[in-house]
Structures are given as structure tokens and as C-alpha cells.
Structure 1
Amino acid sequence: MTALQEFESTVETAIKDNLIPGVTLFAKDRTGKLTYTFSSGFSSLSPPHPITQDTVLTLASGSKLLTTICLLQLVERGLLSLGGDVTTQLPLLASLPVLSAEEGTLVPPRSGGVSLRQLLTHSSGLTYPFLSPQLSAIKAEKTGNPNPFFGSTLQEKYAYPLLSQPGTDFRMGPSVDFAGALLEAVTGVDLDTYFQQHILQPLGLCREEMTFFPLRIAGLVQGDKFARVAVRNPQTGELEQDDTTGKAYKTTTQALGGEGVYASLAAYGRVLGSLLVDDGRLLKKKTVESMFKGHLGREAKESLNQQLETPGWVVGPVPGGVYDWGLGGLVFEGYEVEGDVEGEEKGEEKEDKNRRKGMMYWGGMFNMTWFIDREAGVCGAFGTQMLPVRDEGVSKLHEMFEDAVYKAAREVGGS
């Protein structure tokens, strides 16, 4: 039995034991010897519908990689630079003050501009309101709605003070959503249309496979190809369908680049495969290489690694080591090497059994994950739709799937 066949058996047991509602999987290696898909379980519990590679998932933060690719295309075309101040093109961002964490007071103006690099690496100072009691309170007072997820536009959802000066801290937040708005300001084209022209068309995909606005596609949300979210009941431990959970996503009126994409795993796998093999359909080779390098400054990188010591906010495995943020996701940089005694030479560097330096990954709040390891020559994606984030049962499956994909690549001689 191969590594992936063993994992399939584990998945079937997990579905039977109500650990996950269903899952759809994708993996590929650079040589083409490994091309893998698998689906089992349900995309909807009531009524029951089987999940497939073509089931449309709410990607949530899985959207960030896709929007980052779009912004890098503009950099390639000379319309933007990674280091230039973008606040002149984004008046909404320019208007936001900085909130002093120590005193809880607004400290306008910012000490400097905000760059595209800072938006794409979550070092702009922007933070999700649901991750900050201060921002949640400010948002509730401004909107009259206590729900920190409330809002159908970028301004309603995320136009609230920065929690740190740009470049000084890592904060998971709506930075990529603002980057999407930047694309619209620079090109004069809405982000959904840009996706169709510059992501879908080059990969031979159609709008039904990847979109920001599923309600605009006749029959998609109402049909059996659209996944519903299952939520674990904290009292009983059982999974229950909750049709209200994803409603805030479906009813947004603006394409939000950091969270708003709906796509099938088959379509998402096309993107991962393109970046893995460098086929040039989406980006130039030099640009793709830059994605898998760390782009945070010293202070922000230290902040990121401190936060990863308690990785409850991360969907996907965090097995120790040193990390940076690349252009599109979290980048594994290996392990620190420490000498036994001060002044002695450092010992041999520890190696991860699977991950190579430069491996990049991320996921979305409904427990979808993806990874690309260009050095090892392999990529994969795990698609499901359930809460809570980092549910114990599904988190173990994320780890096991990643391990199985690396083993499978070695079995066929591709890694």
C-alpha cells in the first residue's frame, strides 16, 4: 500500500467517525510522475451531497496567494513596485491613523508610507478586527454592529486604525484585501474581471471554477457543486451544517482579495502546479523564485516567529523551525543552529524530514490548506469546509497529508 493509499484509509475512518464532513485532495510533483486526486465524504450534510474535485469551496485566506500573483503581474508590467509607497493610490489606506497599543490612543500620521511589499507580507500594520479587542470595539461603535466580521465592502469590514507603524510588526489582517483594491485603482478593472483575464484564461479555467461572486452565477450556490460549512457542536462534538457561517462571504459586494475567492480544488491545483513547474503561464521565472524567499524586515520577522510559538491562528502544521513571509504565504527557512558553548563552532544544521528551505504554505479559516515545495519538487492541497479553525481532528489530517505527499513523491522518484 502506498503512502497516499494509507492516508485515504485514514480519511475514510475520519469521515466515518465524524471528524470531518468530507475532503478533496490534490498533489503533484515536478516530474509528472505523481499526479494525484482523491475525494471522499460530503460537501453538504443536509441534504447530503458528495464532495468532488469540482466542488466549489470558500477559500477564505486561501485567496491570498491568488491575489498576490495578480499584484506581482503588475510589478512585472512596471505598473507597481514592491518598495514604493502606495498610499497615494489608496486614499482609504492613507486616511487610517495608527492606534497606540500602550495607550489606546490614535497617533496620526504614520511615520512613513506603506509599500506593496508590506501589504503582501502582512507588515503594513493592518489587523483583522476579530483578532483585536480594541479594533472590534472601534468597529462596533462606528458601524453599530457588534459582529467583528460585519461588512460587505473593504471600508465597512477593514477601514480601521493600524495597530503598528508599517514595517515594524507582523499582523495577520486585511493587507491583501487592500492590495486587491490597489490593483483596481491602478488598472481600472475590478478584481474579479482581472482574475478572469489573467488567472483563469491562462490556465484554461472558467468562471464557474473560480470567482469572487458565486451568487452572480446562476444556480451555483443553490446547486450540489457548492460546499456548505460544517461546524462542530462544542457540547456534543458532532458536526452540524451551519448555512449562516459563510453568508458574510457570499453577500460581499466588493471583491476582497485576501478572503473572497470561491474555487474548486481542481482549479486551485492548476495554480499550484503552474508555480511548481514554472510554466510561465502566470508569472516569469524570476518573479516566481522571489515568491519563495522571505520578505519581512528584521522586526516583523521576529514578531512573526514569536507569534508562531502559539500557532492557534495558523491553518496547517507548524512543526518548529524559523519562518518568514514570502510573496503569497508562510515560508519555512529551516532550523536555527546553536553551539553547545559560547565561542564554539555551531553544530550541524537540523534538517526536516520532508520540508526543504523555501517551502511555502498557507490555508483558509474553513480548514483548507495548500503547500508548494519547489526544492523538493512537490505541491499539494487539502480541501474541506468546517469549523472551528485548527479543529484537532482536521489539524492532524493536515499534517498526515503533507507527510504522505512527500513520501509519495519519493516513492515515484520525484522528491
Structure 2
Amino acid sequence: MANFETKLKEATAGEKPGILGVIALAIDRDGKAILSQAAGKTDIDPVKSTSIDKDSVLGLASCTKLITAIAALRLVEQGKLNLDDPSIIEKHLPGLWQLDIITSLPGQPLTYENRTKPLTARHLLTHTSGSGYDFLDPRLLQWRKQRGEGPQHLTGIIPDALALPSLFQPGEGWTYGSGMDWVGVLVSLISGVTLGEYMRKEIFDIVGCNHQIGFRRQEIEKAGGTIVQVATRGPDGDLSEHTVPEQTSERGGGGLWSSAENFTKILADLIAPEPKLLSSEMLDVLFAAQLSSSPNALASLRRQVPLFAGMTGPLTSSVSDEAINHALGGLLITEDSEILGKIKGTMVWGGGFGSLWFVNREKGVAAFYGGSMFPPGLGLNSELMGEFVRAVWGKAGGV
């Protein structure tokens, strides 16, 4: 831990800090701290800035996806959602159900085919539905351009902003995309309330989160929360603000703001002796490997491991590609690591503003690295993430 603590302080110190601020928390199944470190500031402007701490509010970006998965599984336990019933998608998400599939390769004229395979909520939760991000895939950018549009996924109103062709037949590939945004829409339609309202009642209040978590950062600020500015580093080494546009819709795939304390409360419940959010049986479902029976999807996922290695650190880079699968809430490590030790069963994912979470039920470890730097995988921030992972596993007795 000393190495992580030292490097964190060095990275956030001086007139030209390498990163703005980090809050890093890890706890065991009894709620006791394994690691708790914070260093840096909440704003580049020294007049506005305060020291970052566990109550400072961070943009979760794609760390939101885990909470959306939990929301969906609570509907499953309530008997309102079946993960494998395609009629649910047909009924509630007709705009998704009717989409064609792009068959052409990048750089070629776009061609399409009809969807012939059933589409389910499980596909959406595991990024195997074919729904991509328009700002990541050149074919989707081409589709937008033909309509005189730019990318819409992060700024447009959903579900309309999500309604563009799929990239493959359901279950026949893996692509990081808008599946969780569609799940958020599904949760709202089935529950009859907004996604944010459902999360407040069915998740945040249950584990004791205060109001420093939600989709509306202005409301969080009105409630007294301090939002940590998202920063980026220029060629000269100076930090500057990375503008985060105000969300027009509540996005299940990325859009929540939360204090590290609140987000860690949610993670902690997943390893608690008596979990409140999901039954032990449903937690087994959340953490189960999902792609073992889908060889095309699994192969596609493993080919893309290098693309997200900067966000998941040594949890993925210290194991072979064959040790990586996907659960309903994030990537799943299926083998132990010679470097880190007993990490089998760890579920992990990160966020576009430089955050990382991971949970291992068997070892009783829940951890969150809350950064506020863009783009994700930035050298120094990624290096600190790696030190954080090693520090947590060292103290948790992973070897």
C-alpha cells in the first residue's frame, strides 16, 4: 500500500500535478476498510477547489452499468422481467426489436440484413445484442453521416438516440455499446417510473446512500455535494477542464454521479453476509460467466481485451485472454493470476473518467478507484489504478 500511497501523493502534488484527484476505497465483507486513500483536489481552479475526499462526487460514466444490471435483476426477482424471453423486448422496446443489422465491413458501402435470431435482455446486459456505440464504430458513424448527423449516443434523447442498426445477430459477437442504455429504458418502462426514481427506491435508499448520487449533477450540488471536475492533460503537461455535457436523458450505460462513499456502499452489499439488494441466488446469476456457450461472442470479447486494458489494469493484463469472460455486471476473471494471486471470480469494469471497480465474493473484497481524468486509460492514471489493484490484493491476501 505504501507504494500506492506514495505514488498517489506524488501524482497530485506540485504546481503541475499529473492528475487532479483520486479517492480509493476497498472494504471486506464485514465492512472494514482494506484501503482508504485520497489525494488531490476537486477543481483545477484553486479558488473553487477543495481537497478530494470520500464524499466528493465523481462522474461514474460506465461504472453506472453495474447499478443498471442490479436494477434489472431486482425486476427479475420481483417476477417482472425474464432475461431470456424475447417477447419482453418485442413488447417494450419495439424500436430496438425492428432494427436491421449491418453486414458490410468498415469502409465499404453499408449493406443490411434482417435480424433472424431472438433478442433478449441477457444479450443487452452482456454486450452481445449487436447494439454498438455510434462514436466508436466506423460503420455507425457512416450511417449517421448519411443522415447528416453526428454521434448521438452521449447527448441525444433516448431511446431515439439508440435506434440505429445493429452490428451482428444477437449472440454472434461482442461489442461494447448501448445495450445497458436499452436496459435502463426497459427498467423504466417495466417499473413505470424513471430509471433514476427506480434506482433511488430500489437501490440507493436500501443500502443507505445519501443524496450525493443520481443522474442530475445540478440537483446533487443543490443538496450540498461537491462535484469533482473532469480534467485532461495537454501536451505541455498542464491540466485543463474536460467539458461534460449535461445529460438530456437518464442513461443506464453511463450517466450517474456519485460520491465514492455511496458507490462503495453498493459494491459492499454484493459481498455482505446478508445482502439487501439481491438474494444470494441472484448474486450467483449476476456473477456467473455468460459467454461460455457463445463461442463467437466469447472469441470477439477476448480479441478486444487490449482495448480496455487501460481501464481494468492488472486484473485483466495479469491473466491470459482465456481467463476472461463476461458476467451480467462486468468482465469476469475465471482463473487465478500468477502475479496477483487468487482473483478467480472477480468482476470488474471501469468508467470513461478514470474510475475502476472490482468485486470478489469468495475473497470478500469490494474496491473502487475514483478518478476524474479523461481519456480513460491515461498513462499516469492507469499506472495508479494498477498500483491500487496490487495494494488491495496484497492486503486482502490474494496470493
Normalised by the length of structure 1, the TM-score is 0.87
| 2:289 counterpart of 1:286 | no
- 1:36-115 equivalences under 5 Å are 36-46=35-45, 47-85=48-86, 86-102=89-105, 104-115=109-120
Q: Which residue, 6, 10, 14 being the options, matches 2:11?
A: 14
3-state SS in 1 of match to 2:23: strand
| 2:375 counterpart of 1:371 | no
Q: Decide whether aligned partners of structure 1 residues 164 and 313 sit closer, same or farther in structure 2, where only a CA change above 3 A counts.
A: farther
Q: Decide whether aligned partners of structure 1 residues 281 and 215 sit closer, same or farther in structure 2, where only a CA change above 3 A counts.
A: same
3-state SS in 2 of match to 1:25: strand
3-state SS in 2 of match to 1:299: helix
| 2:153 counterpart of 1:157 | no
Structure 1 unpaired stretches of 5+: 336-349
Give how far 1:278 is off. 4.4
Q: Decide whether aligned partners of structure 1 residues 136 and 315 sit closer, same or farther in structure 2, where only a CA change above 3 A counts.
A: farther
Deviations 1:322-349 (A, max 9, x none): 21110101000127xxxxxxxxxxxxxx
1:125 matched residue in structure 2:
130
Give how far 1:6 is off. 3.5
Q: Which moved more, 1:88-97 or 1:281-290?
A: 88-97
- Between the aligned partners of 1:310 and 1:61, the Cα distance in structure 2 is 15
1:30 matched residue in structure 2:
29
| 2:253 counterpart of 1:258 | yes
- 8 Å contact kept, 2:311–2:355: no
3-state SS in 1 of match to 2:159: helix
Q: Decide whether aligned partners of structure 1 residues 315 and 402 sit closer, same or farther in structure 2, where only a CA change above 3 A counts.
A: closer
- Between the aligned partners of 1:196 and 1:260, the Cα distance in structure 2 is 14
- Between the aligned partners of 2:304 and 2:43, the Cα distance in structure 1 is 34
Q: Which residue, 192, 200, 205 being the options, matches 1:201?
A: 205
Q: Which residue, 370, 374, 385 being the options, matches 2:372?
A: 385
- Between the aligned partners of 1:256 and 1:32, the Cα distance in structure 2 is 30
Q: Decide whether aligned partners of structure 1 residues 313 and 391 sit closer, same or farther in structure 2, where only a CA change above 3 A counts.
A: closer
Code of the residue aligned with 1:305 in structure 2: it is R
Code of the residue aligned with 1:375 in structure 2: it is E
Code of the residue aligned with 1:358 in structure 2: it is G
- Between the aligned partners of 1:20 and 1:131, the Cα distance in structure 2 is 25
After superposing on structure 2, the runs of 4+ consecutive aligned residues of structure 1 that deviate more than 6 Å are none
Give how far 1:160 is off. 1.0
Normalised by the length of structure 2, the TM-score is 0.90
Deviations 1:79-131 (A, max 9, x none): 11121112322111112210113364343421122111111000000111111
- Between the aligned partners of 2:325 and 2:154, the Cα distance in structure 1 is 30
Give how far 1:310 is off. 4.6
| 2:321 counterpart of 1:308 | no
Structure 2 unpaired stretches of 5+: none
Deviations 1:389-413 (A, max 9, x none): 2001111111110110111223xxx
Task: Give identity over the alignment, percent.
Answer: 31
- Between the aligned partners of 1:157 and 1:312, the Cα distance in structure 2 is 28
| 2:294 counterpart of 1:295 | no
- Between the aligned partners of 2:303 and 2:3, the Cα distance in structure 1 is 35
Code of the residue aligned with 1:121 in structure 2: it is T
- Between the aligned partners of 2:159 and 2:32, the Cα distance in structure 1 is 47
Give how far 1:288 is off. 0.7
- Between the aligned partners of 1:387 and 1:260, the Cα distance in structure 2 is 15
- 8 Å contact kept, 2:214–2:258: yes
Code of the residue aligned with 1:251 in structure 2: it is Q
- Between the aligned partners of 1:278 and 1:92, the Cα distance in structure 2 is 41
Give how far 1:141 is off. 3.9
- 8 Å contact kept, 1:360–1:373: yes
- 8 Å contact kept, 1:44–1:228: yes
Give how far 1:145 is off. 4.1
3-state SS in 2 of match to 1:178: helix
Code of the residue aligned with 2:118 in structure 1: it is G
Q: Decide whether aligned partners of structure 1 residues 311 and 262 sit closer, same or farther in structure 2, where only a CA change above 3 A counts.
A: closer
- Between the aligned partners of 1:224 and 1:232, the Cα distance in structure 2 is 25
Code of the residue aligned with 1:303 in structure 2: it is S
Q: Decide whether aligned partners of structure 1 residues 190 and 333 sit closer, same or farther in structure 2, where only a CA change above 3 A counts.
A: same
2:333 matched residue in structure 1:
332
1:236 matched residue in structure 2:
236
- Between the aligned partners of 1:352 and 1:181, the Cα distance in structure 2 is 40
Q: How many equivalent pairs are there?
A: 385
1:338 matched residue in structure 2:
none
Q: Which residue, 180, 183, 188 being the options, matches 1:179?
A: 183
3-state SS in 1 of match to 2:75: helix
- Between the aligned partners of 1:219 and 1:31, the Cα distance in structure 2 is 33
User: RMSD between aligned alpha carbons?
Assistant: 2.1
1:277 matched residue in structure 2:
272
Deviations 1:48-70 (A, max 9, x none): 22211111111110000000000
- Between the aligned partners of 1:399 and 1:150, the Cα distance in structure 2 is 28
- 8 Å contact kept, 2:29–2:273: no
Give how far 1:225 is off. 0.5
Q: Which residue, 209, 214, 218 being the options, matches 1:215?
A: 218
- 8 Å contact kept, 2:172–2:296: yes
- 8 Å contact kept, 2:231–2:239: yes
Q: Which moved more, 1:5-14 or 1:161-170?
A: 5-14
